[in-house]
Amino acid sequence: MAGDFTPVDGRVCVITGATSGIGRAAASELAALGATLVIVARDPARGAAARDEIVDETGNREVALEVADLRSQRQVRELAARLMAALPEIHVLVNNAGLTLSERRLTEDGVEETFAVNHLAPFLLTKYAWPHMKSAGWGRIINISSVHGLRASEFKSAYISAKHGIMGLTKTTALEGGPHGITVNAVCPAYVRTPLVDNQIDAQSATHGIPREEVIGSIMLKKAAIKKMIEPHEIGAAVLYLCSDAAGCMTGTDFTIDCGWTAC
C-alpha cells in the first residue's frame, strides 16, 4: 500500500517558491521520499539555506537550487531553458511561488507583479515542462491556488484574478493532459501560517488598529467553520498525495483545504 502513495522515489520534481511556507514544506515531503528535487528561489542566499536544510533534514542529497525572479518573464524563460538542458526528464512541477503585497507595482514587462508571479509564471513553466511529461507518458502538475481562486473578496483584484486564472489553466491542461498520463490539479487553501500571511496580519493590524489575534479571529477566520490557521505541512501532504498513483484519477480538480470557508 505504501508504494501507492510514494511514487516520487527517483522522480524529478521542480518546485517554485520553496524557501519558506507551503513550498518549503512540500519540498521536504518530496525529498524525504527520495525525489530528485529542484527548488526555485528568488533570493540566492535564502535558496541555498533552504536547500542545505532540506538535505540535512531528509538525508537526500539530490536537491539542487535554481535562482530566478518569477516576476520577470525573461527570467522564467531562462529558468525553463536551464531546466530543459540540465534535466533528462521532469516528472512533477509544483507551481507554488506567490506574491500578495505588491499589487500596484509593475514588472519589467509592464505586468502587475502579483499577476506575473501567480499566473504568468505557472502558465509559462507548464508550457515548457509539458513536452517532457508528454514524451514520458507521465506527469503531475500541481498549482498552489487559493480559496480566492474559488471565492472573491474585496480589495484583492489582482490576486483573485490571477488565482481564478490558475483554475482555468488547471482545468484546461487537465483535459489536454489526460490522454498522455499527465494530471493537473490545484490546491486551494484558506489562510496558511506562512511568512506572507504573517505580513498580511501585521498590515491588517496596522490598518485597523487592532491586535494581531483579533485580525486572525475577526477577519481572516471569520468565514471558516474551523477557527484555525492551516499549517504548511498540511498542504505539503496534499501535494504529496496528488503526486501519487493513488491520485491517478484526480485531474482538473480544486483540492480545497479551507476549514469550511466554501461550504456555504
- β-strands 139-144, 182-189 pairing: parallel
Looking only at Cα atoms, what is the longest distance across the chain? Answer: 55
Q: In what order do the strands lie in the sheet with 92-95?
A: 63-67, 36-41, 12-16, 92-95, 139-144, 182-189, 254-257
Rounded Cα–Cα distance for residues 22 and 46 (Å)? 15
Q: Could you give the angle at which helices 44-58 and 21-32 cross, rounded to 10 degrees?
A: 40
Location of C-alpha cell 490571477: 162
- Give the predicted TM-score (pTM) of the model: 0.93
pLDDT digits (tens, 9 = 90+) for 20-66: 999 999 999 999 999 999 999 999 999 999 999 999 999 999 999 99
Q: What pLDDT, on the 0 to 100 scale, is given for residue 2?
A: 42
Q: What pLDDT, on the 0 to 100 scale, is given for residue 1?
A: 40
List the chain residues with pLDDT less than 70: 1-7, 100-104, 109-110
- The CATH number of 2-192+230-257, from 3.40.50.720, 3.30.540.10, 3.60.10.10, 3.40.309.10, is 3.40.50.720
Domain ranges in the chain?
2-192+230-257, 194-229
Q: What pLDDT, on the 0 to 100 scale, is given for residue 169?
A: 98
| Catalytic pick among 128, 159, 191, 241 | 159
C-beta of residue 241 within 8 angstroms of C-beta of residue 29: no
Rounded Cα–Cα distance for residues 76 and 98 (Å)? 14
Question: Is 159 known to be catalytic?
Answer: yes
Q: What pLDDT, on the 0 to 100 scale, is given for residue 5?
A: 52
